[in-house]
């Protein structure tokens, strides 16, 4: 293996230039302030966790975890999401706090990727977790907050696709009861948006036409509130009926929030079916084909840390917003340039401190010993793109 060159970095990792950092920090600040206005308090968890706790509980597949060993030979992981670490904290340090808990975060996460995939191995997420409330109101709150957060991040044109794991589980168990492997295969097709493969899996089941139509009909269950009526007619499963009732109740709350125009019901939207237990959703910006946020209900996670509580939440995929959405424009704030001769250094630096205390950005520049004519001022001005140039020259020349 060849030695990397001095300017190279590992595949999947990136450098953030000052302009991109400004955009990232603006999005971070705007979104976290938005979440705070909704009552969510920010939490920070370690970059490294134990594999046997957070790593195992994570929704990230094992092969995508970055693993390392500490000096005692214990396997650690770089965090691959924030939900599992927060579940650990809720089950320990926050176990005496009143429920429901509303927590927010902004952090970098790590997922191992194939080199040819062209995806990032380190990226940023900004999100929330609402713990201890299993009501439609709670699910609607996180969807409404996701909408507000996307708007705070500068995403002006987007749609939220909202589904429910329970409906699909109920339908599959009704049509092909007990056939776990076949059910998982159909879910994989929907999860990967491989509708051709989904139909092929249905054909391979050799079902009677009525049952085959039931499974194919889910592909058409996409739209507004009317989808709830069609879904109820499609399945007689009690689980499916309860799930649709919950989803319709969520939609009604979103109507009360005044944000239902951004939401469509899509019963093929199942999220990570090994992780989510109820309502799931994804947000798509007009500029991008891949989701800019995702979330849903995960009622089984906290019991892995010894505390059985319902929970729901979402995460913005902040890097996709930075790179693919043009809603936030960062105007570079030019500094004041104070340039000075050696003899007037104290005056100049005192003035720089005064202006900084007033909130000004100030850059200082030492001028040459041999005078401060127009050419020196010009040279200093071109060194720094300044909003204003203040010169402290020779004692004779004054300010």
- Residue 365 sits at the vertex; the CA angle it makes with 361 and 369, to the nearest 5 degrees, is 160
Compare 155 and 399 and report the one with higher pLDDT: 155
Torsion, Cα of 107, 291, 136, 254 (10° steps):
110
Token pair, residue 116, equals: 């040819």
Please state, as a whole number, how many other Cβ atoms lie within 10 Å of the Cβ of residue 121: 19
Confidence at residue 68, expressed as pLDDT on a 0 to 100 scale:
94
Q: Please count the CA atoms within 13 angstroms of the CA of 291 that sit on its side-chain side.
A: 19
Token pair, residue 111, equals: 């997922």
Q: Please count the CA atoms within 13 angstroms of the CA of 173 that sit on its side-chain side.
A: 12
Of 57-71, 99-113, 143-157, 303-317, the least confident: 57-71
Token pair, residue 125, equals: 């997420």
Of 7-11, 127-131, 298-302, 313-317, the least confident: 7-11
Q: How confident is the model at residue 249 (pLDDT cuts 50, 70, 90)?
A: very high
Please state, as a whole number, how many other Cβ atoms lie within 10 Å of the Cβ of residue 254: 23
Confidence at residue 192, expressed as pLDDT on a 0 to 100 scale:
83
Rounded mean pLDDT of 246-266? 95
| Residue 252 in this model has a pLDDT that exceeds 90 | yes
pTM of the model: 0.88
Percent of the chain predicted with pLDDT > 70: 92
Mean pLDDT highest for which of 261-275, 295-309, 326-340, 385-399? Answer: 295-309
User: Beta strand 158-164 with 263-266: parallel, antiparallel or unpaired?
Assistant: parallel
| Residue 345 in this model has a pLDDT that exceeds 90 | yes
Taking CA atoms, 261 is separated from 213, 243, 256, 389, in Å, by 30, 22, 11, 50
3 state DSSP class of 207: coil
Please state, as a whole number, how many other Cβ atoms lie within 10 Å of the Cβ of residue 290: 10
| Residue 128 in this model has a pLDDT that exceeds 70 | yes
Rounded mean pLDDT of 158-180? 92
| Residue 372 in this model has a pLDDT that exceeds 50 | no
Of 6-20, 108-122, 172-186, 188-202, the least confident: 108-122
Residue 184's Cβ-count burial label (10 Å; 0-12, 13-18, 19+) is middle
**Is the bond into 363 cis (omega within 30 degrees of 0)?**
no
Residues 292, 57, 97, 138, CA torsion sign? positive
Place of tokens 């990727």: 113
- Residue pair 212/202 in contact by the 8 Å Cβ criterion: yes
Nearest alpha carbon to residue 87 among 66, 101, 73 = 101
| Residue 375 in this model has a pLDDT that exceeds 70 | no
Q: How confident is the model at residue 1 (pLDDT cuts 50, 70, 90)?
A: low
Residues 6+ apart with CB under 8 A from 304: 56, 57, 87
Residue 106's Cβ-count burial label (10 Å; 0-12, 13-18, 19+) is buried
Confidence at residue 117, expressed as pLDDT on a 0 to 100 scale:
57
Rounded mean pLDDT of 133-162? 96
Confidence at residue 377, expressed as pLDDT on a 0 to 100 scale:
46
Rounded mean pLDDT of 341-350? 94
Rounded mean pLDDT of 259-286? 89
pLDDT averaged over every residue in the chain:
89
| Residue 235 in this model has a pLDDT that exceeds 90 | no
- Residue pair 182/205 in contact by the 8 Å Cβ criterion: yes
- Please give the DSSP secondary-structure letter assigned to residue 281: E
Of 122-136, 152-166, 381-395, the least confident: 381-395
pLDDT tens per residue, range 27-58? 999 999 999 999 999 999 999 999 999 999 98
Confidence at residue 397, expressed as pLDDT on a 0 to 100 scale:
44
């Amino acid at each position: 293996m060849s030695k990397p060159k001095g300017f190279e970095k590992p595949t999947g990792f990136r450098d953030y230039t000052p302009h991109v950092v400004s955009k990232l920090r603006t999005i971070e600040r705007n979104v976290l302030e938005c979440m705070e206005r909704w009552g969510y308090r920010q939490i920070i968890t370690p970059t490294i966790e134990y594999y046997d706790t957070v790593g195992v509980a994570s929704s990230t597949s094992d092969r995508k975890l970055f693993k390392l060993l500490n000096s005692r030979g214990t396997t650690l992981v770089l965090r691959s999401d924030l939900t599992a670490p927060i579940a650990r904290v809720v089950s320990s340090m926050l176990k005496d706090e009143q429920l429901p808990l509303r927590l927010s975060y902004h952090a970098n996460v790590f997922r191992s990727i194939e080199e040819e995939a062209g995806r990032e191995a380190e990226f940023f997420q900004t999100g929330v977790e609402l713990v201890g409330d299993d009501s439609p109101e709670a699910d609607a709150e996180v969807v409404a907050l996701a909408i507000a957060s996307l708007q705070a991040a500068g995403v002006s044109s987007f749609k939220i696709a909202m589904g429910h794991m329970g409906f699909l589980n109920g339908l599959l168990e009704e049509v092909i009861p007990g056939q776990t492997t076949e059910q998982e295969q159909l879910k994989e097709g929907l999860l990967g948006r491989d509708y051709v493969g989904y139909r092929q899996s249905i054909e391979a089941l050799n079902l009677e036409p009525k049952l085959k139509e039931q499974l194919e009909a889910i592909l058409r269950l996409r739209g507004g509130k009317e989808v709830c009526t069609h879904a109820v007619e499609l399945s007689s499963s009690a689980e499916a009926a309860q799930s649709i009732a919950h989803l319709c109740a969520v939609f009604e709350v979103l109507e009360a929030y005044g944000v239902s125009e951004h939401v469509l019901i899509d019963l093929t939207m199942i999220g990570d079916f090994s992780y989510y237990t109820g309502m799931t959703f994804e947000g798509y910006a007009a500029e991008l084909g891949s989701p800019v946020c995702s979330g849903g209900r995960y009622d089984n996670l906290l019991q892995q840390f010894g505390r059985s509580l319902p929970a729901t939440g979402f995460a913005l995929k902040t890097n996709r917003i930075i790179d693919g959405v043009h809603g936030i424009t960062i105007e570079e704030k030019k500094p004041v340039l104070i340039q000075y001769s050696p003899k007037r250094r104290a005056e100049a630096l005192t003035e720089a401190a005064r202006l900084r205390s007033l909130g000004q950005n100030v850059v200082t520049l030492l001028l040459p010993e041999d005078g401060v004519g127009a050419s020196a001022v010009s040279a200093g001005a071109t060194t720094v793109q300044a909003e204003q140039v203040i010169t402290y020259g020779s004692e004779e020349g004054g300010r």
